[in-house]
A = this chain, B = another copy of it.
Amino acid sequence: MKNLKTIVLSNQEISPGYFRMKILAPGYNNTAKPGQFVMFRVQRSLPPLLRRPFGIFRAGFMPADCDSMQPKEFIELIYKVVGSGTEIMQRLHQGDPVELLGPLGEGFDLGVAEEEKILVGGGIGLVPLYMLAERMVETSRVRLLMGGRTRDDIIMVTEFERLGVETYVSTEDGSLGEGGMITQVLKRKLDKFPKSTVFACGPMPMIDAVQKICFERGTPLQVSLEALMACGVGACLGCVVKGAGHTEVEPRYLCTCTSGPVFNAENLDWNKIEVTVVGSGGCK
A82 shortest CB reach to chain B, Å: 16
Q: Does A281 contact B (CB under 8 A)?
A: no
A243 shortest CB reach to chain B, Å: 39
Main secondary structure of the interface of A (DSSP, over half): loop
Hey, which chain B residues are within 8 Å of A88, CB to CB? 45
Hey, which chain B residues are within 8 Å of A45, CB to CB? 47, 88
Copies of this chain per assembly: 2
Counting chain A residues whose Cβ lies within 8 A of the other chain, the interface size class is under 10
Q: Which residue of B lies closest to A45 (CB)?
A: B47
Centre residue among A45, A46, A47 by max chain B CB count within 10 A: A45
Hey, which chain B residues are within 8 Å of A46, CB to CB? 46-47
A93 shortest CB reach to chain B, Å: 11
Contact with B along A84-106 (1 / 0, CB 8 A): 00001000000000000000000
Contact with B along A36-57 (1 / 0, CB 8 A): 0000000001110000000000
A-to-B contact residues, CB < 8 Å: 45-47, 88
Closest 4 CB pairs of A and B: A46-B47, A45-B47, A46-B46, A45-B88
The contact sample of 4 A-B pairs, CB cut-off 8 A, is A45-B47, A45-B88, A46-B46, A46-B47
